Structure 1
Amino acid sequence: MKANELREMQTAELTSKLVDLKAELFNLRFQHAINQLENPGRIDAVKKDIARVMTVLAEKQ
């Protein structure tokens, strides 16, 4: 996910995206804990996406 794509989204869409990403991160961490995670690098990618969304939300406020 690119920052430019996020800046084009509305605040409600960004909030919804943030909730989805946090849920995905929870699921990835759970899978990692029980050794069923195939791609551990996905955790870092989701964390960075969460940070991007939060940054864009802060810019809009």
Structure 2
Amino acid sequence: MKLEEMRALSPQEIRSRLEDAREEYFRLRFQFSGGQLTDTSRLRVARREIARLATILQEVELEVEYEGGGE
């Protein structure tokens, strides 16, 4: 999912997707520890998606308008 698409979601949808992403990450970690996960890059992708969703949710909750560049 692209960043613009994530930003267009409602806070409830973001929370739902964040929960789903955390569950997926948990399953991936479990598969990795059991030796069943062959594509370990999926762990990294899942972690980054969780971070993106959490950041966007925090921005929405604080009502911060993102204008880029950190200004």
TM above 0.5, yes or no, is yes
Per the normalisation by structure 1, the TM-score is 0.96
Unaligned runs of 5+ in 2: 62-71
In the alignment of these two chains, the number of paired residues is 61
Where relative contact order (Cα < 8 A, 6+ residues apart) is larger, the structure is: 1
Question: Percent of counterpart pairs with the same letter?
Answer: 38
**RMSD over aligned Cα atoms:** 0.6
Between Structure 1 and Structure 2, the one with more helix by share is 1
Give the structure with higher Rg (CA).
Answer: 2
Unaligned runs of 5+ in 1: none
* CA deviation profile, 1:36-60 (whole Å, cap 9, x unmatched): 0021000000000000000100110
Aligned-pair CA distance for 1:33: 0.2
